[in-house]
Amino acid sequence: MATDDADYSVDGDQVVTDRIQHERLSIGIGCSSRACSDDVIRLIEASVDEIPSDTMIATLDRRASIGEDVASILGLRLVLIPASILASVAGVTTHSTLALSKTRTANVAEASALASLGPSARLIVPQTKGRFCTCAVAALSLTEHP
């Protein structure tokens, strides 16, 4: 999992442990209609070292079916977000003209992860690409409320 050295003064596994103990995570996913849940799960597992049990999966409401499959397999809660909300999310760092033309947001995975945690969330793993899908991870300090 990517880390921000400015936020943590410890190294290696301790950084991940500290992050898990002090932050809530959300994994945002974006995918084409050709993606399957196995594609998304492989990408998530390649992008995130450890998934705490209170982590959320978040995605565009039009992708409810695949989101439900992924959340069920991973044992996580699913948050579905309408395109109108994703279009107004600040903090997206990776831009896709295809996503923008279809959803009015430049990045469904990043916007979903951020939106599910609220305006104080920050992106800790920018978009990663898989087969017909993308994922990103956002975090919210447990001292703040979504």
Judge whether 74 lies within some domain. Answer: yes
pLDDT tens column, 17-40: 454 457 899 999 999 999 999 999
Look at strands 23-31 and 56-60 and give their pairing. Answer: parallel
Can you give the CATH number for the domain in which 117 is found?
Answer: 3.30.420.180
CB 61 within 8 Å of CB 80: yes
Look at strands 77-81 and 56-60 and give their pairing. Answer: parallel
Tell me: pLDDT of 146 over 60.
no
Judge whether 11 lies within some domain. Answer: no
pLDDT of residue 90: 92
pLDDT tens column, 113-136: 999 999 999 999 999 999 999 999
22-34 core/surface letters (b: 16 or more CB in 10 A; e: else): ebbbbbbbbbeee
Host domain of residue 90 = 18-141
CB 124 within 8 Å of CB 98: no
Judge whether 95 lies within some domain. Answer: yes
